[in-house]
Amino acid sequence: MGRELWHFIDGERVAGTSGRAGDVFNPATGEVSKSVPLANTDEVKKVITAAAVALPAWSTTPPAKRAQVMFNFRSLILKHLDELAELVSSEHGKTLEDAKGSISRGLEVVEFVCGVPQLLKGHYSESVAGDVDSYALRQPVGVCAGITPFNFPAMVPMWMFPVAIACGNTFILKPSEKDPSCALRLAELLSEAGLPDGCFNVINGDKEAVDALLSDPTVAAVSFVGSTAIGRYIYETGCRNGKRVQALCGAKNHMVIMPDADMDQAVDAVMGAAYGSAGERCMAVSVAVTVGEETGDEFIKRVGPRVQNLKIGPYTDPLAEMGPVITRESKERIERYIEEGVTSGAELIVDGRGLQLQGYEDGFFVGGTLFDGVTSGMSIYCDEIFGPVLSTVRAASYADAKQLVLDHEYGNGAAIFTRDGDTARDFTQSVNIGMVGVNVPIPVPVAYHSFGGWKASLFGDHSIHGMEGVRFYTRLKTVTARWPSGIKEGAVFNFHSGSDTGH
């Protein structure tokens, strides 16, 4: 791809006409790598029109034919996996292996909707009354929009648009303007897979584009993943304009470590869960809750050196375990939180500030950071930092640890590490969290289950992908029908002979 990016509308690359553009950075070097057009309201209306024009034919296309497009799309993603991962890593900064893994998780959703004829099957009840039958079916909602974050520029969009499109809707994706190239390439691959023009469109933009999507009456449904503040705005604005909205928002995910836990397993798990993707994921473990002083001491003793020795580098370094964060502003915000943690009295075991790599001095790198002695009133505990910062909270008992999870405003994910089945069962049954792991640090469901939190982590009635996704992107219609038989006693069904037959 060249330096100047574009929109993808009605099957074609379309140059921006608003006169506004944003910079796309290489986070490892701090340099501007591309320019992305930022759409105005007129450009958004153009893309909505394209999606609306394509809707009647696509919504009546047999589900088996829609599934065939998804089969083709799956093959193309596998063929171009290295190319897609390069686009993700060069604009986000995550390692290539991390990028490939995230694309593979999105691919699982494509594979799930290859079975859409089965997913859309209705149900039928015969003779609910005299000569009356009743049946239910699911139909597409119409033109749908997705507003997605920078941290997973392939996976999160693929949690949305394959389900929507396979269910017979048309879709408009507004990706993050910080790393839009992968979304544009996916649009081209979908066209190559046989998707008709206008069924999937990509419009780049900022708040002006988002507001245009939220206010236009043609858009029937909006999916969002991002921060809680923006998610609440999108949910309230979209609902006020008569749309169905699912908004998956912020998180502060706890990992409770019981005294009987396999500590080697727990430490290995927390390293990947807290520092993978530089902590820039809504399911990252950002709070380790150790139960009992001995458990806390042993955890810090083991995890501290691991954090100190994290291999940090650009995505081009095959040995790198963690890359930079997305922007200079993100780096500065994370470092402010680290300073607030120190000021509030937490013990800074490993300080990730001030990290500079030779040859990458202007990159947006933050080293792995570890706190001990964190309490529930500190900002590093309360807020979603979205960076490689792990806060350790020491709890005197299991009941105290569970209460921390219950009381936090976010309810996306939580995990417990223990060998005790009673404790694990109580935790999974009683915490007010949408996704729970037992000896699994990041309990992201597979594609045929659904992803979504509770409390301030989700606005709307439906989680994403799986059958919840199918329900979100379809409307239930129930038909009650009476067909008088018309069969009368004495009716004649045989051919007549003679002049009245024309023979």
266: CATH: 3.40.309.10
Tokens representing 490 are 């004495």
* Domain count for the chain: 2
Residues 206 and 165 in one domain: yes
What value does the mean pLDDT take over residues 77-86? Answer: 98
Per-residue pLDDT reduced to its tens digit, 394-414: 999 999 999 999 999 999 999
What value does the mean pLDDT take over residues 319-338? Answer: 97
Where do we find the tokens 């450009």? Answer: 43
Residues 18 and 123 in one domain: yes
User: Residue 314 pLDDT > 90, yes or no?
Assistant: yes
Residues 278 and 397 in one domain: yes
Which residues does residue 32 pair with via DSSP β-bridges, in sequence order?
25
Question: To which H or E segment does residue 10 belong?
Answer: none
Lowest model confidence (mean pLDDT) among 35-49, 205-219, 488-502: 488-502
* Residues contacting residue 329 through CB under 8 Å, at least 6 positions apart: none
* Residues contacting residue 371 through CB under 8 Å, at least 6 positions apart: 341, 346, 347, 348, 349, 380, 389, 390, 391, 392
Name the percent of the chain lying above pLDDT 90: 95
Residues 217 and 292 in one domain: no
Residue 491, in any domain of the structure: no
Kindly tell me the sign of the dihedral angle through the C-alpha atoms of 416, 422, 425, 427.
negative
The total of other beta-carbon atoms located within 10 Å of residue 309's CB is: 10
Residues 295 and 344 in one domain: yes
Residues 299 and 244 in one domain: no
Domain range for 348? 253-438
Which residues does residue 8 pair with via DSSP β-bridges, in sequence order?
13, 202
Residue 438 three-state SS? strand
Per-residue pLDDT reduced to its tens digit, 110-124: 999 999 999 999 999
Q: Which of 403, 351, 346, 399 is nearest to 375 (CA)?
A: 346
Residues 259 and 245 in one domain: no
User: Residue 392 pLDDT > 70, yes or no?
Assistant: yes
Where do we find the tokens 């059958």? Answer: 467
Report the length, in residues, of the chain. 503
Residues 261 and 300 in one domain: yes
Residue 449, in any domain of the structure: no
Per-residue pLDDT reduced to its tens digit, 36-70: 999 999 999 999 999 999 999 999 999 999 999 99
44-50-51 Cα angle (round to 5)? 90
Is 167 marked active-site? Answer: no
Residues 380 and 473 in one domain: no
Catalytic residue among 144, 167, 199, 282: 282
Tokens representing 448 are 């045929």
The C-alpha torsion from 268 through 273 and 276 to 279, rounded to 10°, is -140
Residue 452, in any domain of the structure: no
Residues 474 and 419 in one domain: no
Residues 382 and 472 in one domain: no
Residue 446, in any domain of the structure: no
Which residues does residue 81 pair with via DSSP β-bridges, in sequence order?
none
Give pTM, 2 decimals: 0.93
Residues 409 and 476 in one domain: no
